Amino acid sequence: MDDPKVSSYFSTFGKRITSFLHLRDSRTDNLRNNARIHSRDGQSLIETCLAVGLICLLFMGILQVSQVFAGKEILQHAAACGARTKTVGFNWWMTLKSVRTAAIPNCGNMLEPDIEAGDIALNQMMSEKPGIFWDWALNQTPASEKFALEIARIPNYLNSPDEAQARYVLNYDGWENDSLRISVSGFTADQDQGMLIPDDPDVASTVIDFGVNQTYPLWVPLHETFYGADSIELSGLSSIENHYSHYLENTGSEE
């Protein structure tokens, strides 16, 4: 054991073992550190996804609530138009047309006239270079072919003598499925005869309470998270003085 060569051999061997152990510990620490870093990255990704999901859910809820409030205001406007139409002596059919046109934003897709969706000029410009398309867009005045057609058809619709003719002038989903329901204090609606019949012809109400109700569809994605149905009942109410007697002779009917 006193041989210098043997002592040198064991000394060298010991140093190598020590170096190996240090290297192994160093690699182990590096692996652990890398594992911690990857674990933190994965945790951050999951947290980000959860936060974005909650923000989107909140945004969808706010959007749906805003649409419901807008629908409520439209029904209030429709009720005011119906009350004004009734108080000057128009019959049930004219009152119904007035309410329908006032509630167009709540009545879904336009069925008649049937026009193709999309803007022809916009579709043609989509194939141009971005710079040309941008310059063209900045020089345009926003317009809607559908809106222009609606504005042109509404007077013809209001002048239509009956439902059969009116349906081919202008029509919407909400009109077709009778989602709008009208109630007038002191009157009963006779759908077959197309008139409002006074509950008591001898007693004229001094105030008309005109109501418009609708089963309003909830169309925003994920609305089931906040409300357990696909629709909600909305209503609009307008009260106005009943002064049709100043315009028409009250005979107890509206033929």
**pLDDT tier, 126 (very low <50, low <70, confident <90, very high otherwise):** confident
pLDDT higher than 80, residue 188: no
**What pLDDT sits at residue 146?**
79
Look at 58 and 242; give whichever has higher pLDDT.
58
Q: Residue 222 region, left (φ>0) first, then alpha (ψ -120 to 50), else beta?
A: left
Residue 194 and residue 92 in contact, taking contact as beta carbons nearer than 8 Å: yes
Rounded to 10 degrees, what is the CA torsion of 125, 130, 131, 133?
20
Look at 109 and 187; give whichever has higher pLDDT.
109
**What pLDDT sits at residue 1?**
47
**What pLDDT sits at residue 208?**
82
- Where is 235: in which H helix or E strand? strand 231-241
**pLDDT tier, 76 (very low <50, low <70, confident <90, very high otherwise):** very high
Residue 141 and residue 113 in contact, taking contact as beta carbons nearer than 8 Å: no
Alpha helices in 126-228 (DSSP H): 130-138, 145-159, 163-167, 173-176
When mean pLDDT is compared over 15-19, 78-82, 244-248, the highest value belongs to: 78-82
**pLDDT tier, 255 (very low <50, low <70, confident <90, very high otherwise):** very low
Residue 126 forms part of a structural domain:
no
Residue 168 forms part of a structural domain:
no
Q: How far apart are CA 232 and CA 39, in angstroms?
A: 46
pLDDT tens track for 149-183 = 888 899 999 999 988 889 899 999 888 887 888 88
Residue 204 forms part of a structural domain:
yes
Residue 173 forms part of a structural domain:
no
Residue 1 forms part of a structural domain:
no
Nearest to 154 by CA among 100, 87, 191: 100
DSSP 8-state symbol, 116: -
Residue 147 forms part of a structural domain:
no
Average pLDDT of the residues in 76-82: 93
- Where is 179: in which H helix or E strand? none
Q: How far apart are CA 186 and CA 208, in angstroms?
A: 8
Average pLDDT of the residues in 63-70: 91
When mean pLDDT is compared over 14-18, 196-200, 205-209, 233-237, the highest value belongs to: 233-237
When mean pLDDT is compared over 85-99, 108-122, 187-201, the highest value belongs to: 85-99
**What pLDDT sits at residue 144?**
72
pLDDT higher than 80, residue 58: yes
Cis before 142? omega within 30: no
**pLDDT tier, 7 (very low <50, low <70, confident <90, very high otherwise):** low
> How large a percentage of the chain has pLDDT more than 70?
67
Average pLDDT of the residues in 186-193: 58
Residue 77 forms part of a structural domain:
yes
Q: Residue 7 region, left (φ>0) first, then alpha (ψ -120 to 50), else beta?
A: alpha
Average pLDDT of the residues in 3-18: 54
- Domain span at residue 46? 12-107+179-246
Number of domains in the chain: 1
**pLDDT tier, 86 (very low <50, low <70, confident <90, very high otherwise):** confident
Can you give the pTM of this predicted structure?
0.67
Q: How many CB atoms lie within 10 A of CB 234?
A: 19
Between the alpha carbon of residue 146 and those of residues 46, 116, 125, 175, the distances in Å are 44, 9, 20, 17
Q: Which residues contact 26 (CB under 8 A, 6 or more apart)?
A: none
Average pLDDT of the residues in 9-34: 58
When mean pLDDT is compared over 63-67, 121-125, 147-151, 175-179, the highest value belongs to: 63-67
Between the alpha carbon of residue 170 and those of residues 24, 104, 145, 157, the distances in Å are 82, 11, 15, 6
Residue 155 forms part of a structural domain:
no
